[in-house]
């Protein structure tokens, strides 16, 4: 399985209003198929006042800027015919201020007013969330509501069982619309508030109970629906949620792999595997698959972060040889750049995806001006296609390698050897075995090469007398059986 995280507004425009839309995606399904994508993860497409869509004003309506529900259904249908599947990003931890639920709650209407959390005399109105200095209480008129993600997104109060049923209806609606699964936003935040003590507190056990019930419900509607969770936290916390979902995003590996690549350090690579994917090491047991990625829409884009195309290709090569499920954030494959100003402002890593060298042409989206990706900077599909060593063509060969070795998704891995420059990694199951050599350094590095059939080589690597000289950040993969 290969996933592609897609931001519709930036993808392809079918009606010349500058905004990407459902029919635009329908026009470009072949781009995704040719790349080798299996699942498209659509960032939120429900009605929302926000460009990112994470504050939903109506869970049963599509955002009109993207087209109609019929357009969406047609797009999903055509995608299905081409063998693609679609996962919807569903943020249910909170709603938009303009949502009917919150507006009715503000007027004191039952049951809605109990669906939110209102400050009382016990609340500390200056309390801040633990990862930055944003306040958790938001003022509206003469009231304060709990909103962990800011003043535009009141949190729902899941202490109400009737709300659980409302959420189930939403899952059912989107499965019946044609989606094949969900990316569950902010999964650790459903219960992140202590209603007795009136302050922020993660309640992982309650979250687990909630998600078990939701996942069971989703699968009762569609047996093979795929459920992916977003728990952005340290490995010991992420592990609390294992086994409930099909795939859990592996934030620790995203962070540590990038750090390893920045430090150019084989010993760090070793530590990263032990810390971040112990379940795939020889003695481990896999409960949920590891969702492996380098960046997502909340992060600095990979080329802006690593600042070196060859290093980016190395990062992808590691991702496509490790067990688990690889994810691409749109534009990573073409070398797009972008640095969000802070966690509350992701627009800068969601710039229009460029199809043309000169920055315009049919279907090109232009909902915002470019800041990081100007015309003729090499990151358009047109330019990337022409250069055989481009990131796009490298990602294509890596995906094709992965598809010829689907067993890798459930493989075991171990590091056989490493020196100051190179890592020798073994991936295996009962029937297969590969060895991958990664040069983590910006200089040419030599390493003893085992006998085997070459599967993939990235960079100007050459072999002499069982020794491979790997190009800076070069990769070489062989098949043992």
Point out which residues bind ligand ACG (CB under 6 A).
52, 54-55, 91, 131, 149-150, 153, 185-186, 230, 232-234, 251, 255, 297-298, 343-344, 346
Question: Shortest approach of ligand ACG to residue 234 CB, angstroms?
Answer: 4
Question: Shortest approach of ligand ACG to residue 118 CB, angstroms?
Answer: 19
Specify the residue, 156 or 381, whose C-beta has the smaller distance to ligand ACG: 156
Question: Shortest approach of ligand ACG to residue 261 CB, angstroms?
Answer: 16
Specify the residue, 298 or 366, whose C-beta has the smaller distance to ligand ACG: 298
Q: What is the 3-state secondary structure (H, E, C) of the chain?
A: CCEEEECHHHCCCCCCCCCCCHHHHHHCHHHHHHHCCCEEEECCCEECCCCCCCCCCEEEEECHHHCCHHHHHHHHHHHHHCCCEEEEEECCCECCCCCHHHHHHHCCCCCHHHHECECCCCCCCCCECCCCCCECEEEECCEEEECCCCCCCCEECCCCHHHHHHHHHHHHHHHHHCCCEEEECCHHHCCCEECCCCEECCCHHHHHHHHHHHHHHHHHHCCCCEEEECCCCCHHHHHHCCCCCCEEECHHHHHHHHHHHHHCCHHHHHHHHHHHCHHHCCCCCCCCEEEECCCCCCCCCHHHHHCCHHHHHHHHHHHHHCCCEEEEECCHHHCCCCCCCECCECHHHCCCCCCCCCCCCCCCCCCCCCCCCCCCCCCCHHHHHHCCCCHHHHHHHHHHHHHHCHHHHHCEEEEEEECCCEEEEEEECCCCEEEEEEECCCCCEEEECCCCEEEEEECCCEEECCEEEECCCCEEEEECC
Specify the residue, 213 or 233, whose C-beta has the smaller distance to ligand ACG: 233
Specify the residue, 259 or 281, whose C-beta has the smaller distance to ligand ACG: 259
| β-strands 46-47, 58-62 pairing | antiparallel
**The two structure tokens encoding residue 282:** 């020889």
Question: Shortest approach of ligand ACG to residue 139 CB, angstroms?
Answer: 16
Specify the residue, 254 or 408, whose C-beta has the smaller distance to ligand ACG: 254
Active site residue 133: no
Specify the residue, 185 or 246, whose C-beta has the smaller distance to ligand ACG: 185
Provide φ and ψ at 312, rounded to 5°: -65, -45
Question: Shortest approach of ligand ACG to residue 207 CB, angstroms?
Answer: 12
Question: Shortest approach of ligand ACG to residue 148 CB, angstroms?
Answer: 8
Active-site hit among 230, 264, 332, 357 = 230
Alpha-carbon dihedral 237, 243, 246, 247, rounded to 10 degrees: 20
| β-strands 137-140, 46-47 pairing | unpaired
Active-site hit among 13, 155, 185, 256 = 185
Residue number closest to ligand ACG, CB atom: 54
Closest CA to 40 of 327, 232, 470, 336: 327
Q: Distance between CA 14 and CA 19 in Å, rounded? A: 8
Specify the residue, 150 or 378, whose C-beta has the smaller distance to ligand ACG: 150
Specify the residue, 182 or 355, whose C-beta has the smaller distance to ligand ACG: 182
Question: Shortest approach of ligand ACG to residue 306 CB, angstroms?
Answer: 18
Question: Shortest approach of ligand ACG to residue 361 CB, angstroms?
Answer: 30
Specify the residue, 154 or 315, whose C-beta has the smaller distance to ligand ACG: 154
Active site residue 162: no
Active site members: 185, 230
């Amino acid at each position: 399985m290969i996933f592609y995280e897609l931001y519709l507004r930036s993808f392809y425009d079918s009606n010349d209003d500058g905004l990407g839309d459902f029919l635009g995606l329908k026009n470009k399904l072949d781009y995704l198929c040719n790349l080798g994508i299996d699942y498209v993860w659509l960032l939120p497409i429900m009605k929302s006042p926000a460009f990112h869509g994470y504050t939903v004003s109506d869970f049963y309506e599509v955002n009109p800027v993207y087209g109609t529900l019929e357009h969406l259904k047609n797009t999903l249908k055509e995608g299905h015919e081409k063998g693609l599947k679609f996962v919807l990003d569903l943020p249910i931890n909170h709603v938009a201020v303009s949502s009917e639920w919150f507006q009715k709650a503000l007027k004191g209407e039952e049951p809605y007013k109990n669906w939110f959390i209102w400050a009382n005399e016990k609340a500390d109105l200056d309390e801040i969330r633990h990862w930055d200095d944003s306040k958790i209480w938001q003022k509206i008129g003469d009231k304060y509501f709990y909103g962990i993600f800011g003043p535009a997104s009141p949190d729902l109060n899941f202490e109400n069982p009737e709300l659980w049923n409302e959420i189930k209806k939403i899952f059912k609606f989107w499965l019946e619309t044609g989606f094949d699964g969900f990316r569950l936003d902010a999964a650790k935040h459903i219960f992140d508030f202590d209603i007795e003590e009136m302050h922020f507190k993660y309640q992982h056990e309650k979250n687990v109970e909630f998600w078990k019930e939701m996942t069971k419900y989703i699968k009762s509607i569609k047996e093979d629906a795929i459920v992916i969770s977003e728990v952005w936290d340290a490995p010991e916390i992420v592990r609390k949620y294992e086994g409930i979902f099909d795939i859990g995003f592996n934030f620790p590996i995203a962070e540590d792999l990038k750090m390893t690549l920045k430090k150019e350090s084989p010993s760090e690579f070793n530590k990263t595997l032990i810390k971040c994917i112990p379940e795939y090491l020889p003695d481990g047991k896999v409960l949920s698959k590891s969702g492996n990625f380098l960046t997502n829409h909340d992060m600095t884009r990979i080329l802006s972060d690593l600042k070196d195309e060859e290093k980016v290709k190395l990062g992808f090569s590691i991702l496509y040889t490790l067990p688990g499920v690889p994810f691409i954030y749109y534009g990573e494959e073409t070398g797009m750049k972008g640095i969000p100003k802070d966690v509350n402002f992701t627009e800068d890593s969601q710039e229009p995806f460029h199809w043309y060298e000169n920055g315009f042409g049919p279907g090109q989206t232009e909902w915002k001006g470019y800041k990081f990706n100007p015309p003729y900077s090499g990151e358009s599909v047109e330019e990337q296609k022409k250069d055989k060593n481009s990131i796009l063509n490298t990602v294509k060969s890596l995906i094709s390698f992965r598809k010829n070795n689907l067993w890798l998704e459930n493989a075991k891995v171990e590091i056989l050897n490493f020196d100051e420059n190179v890592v020798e990694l073994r991936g295996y199951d009962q029937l297969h075995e590969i060895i991958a050599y990664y040069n983590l350094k910006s200089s040419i590095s030599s390493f003893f090469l085992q006998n085997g059939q070459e599967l993939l080589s990235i960079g100007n690597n050459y072999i002499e007398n069982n020794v491979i000289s790997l190009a800076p950040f070069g990769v070489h993969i062989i098949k043992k059986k």
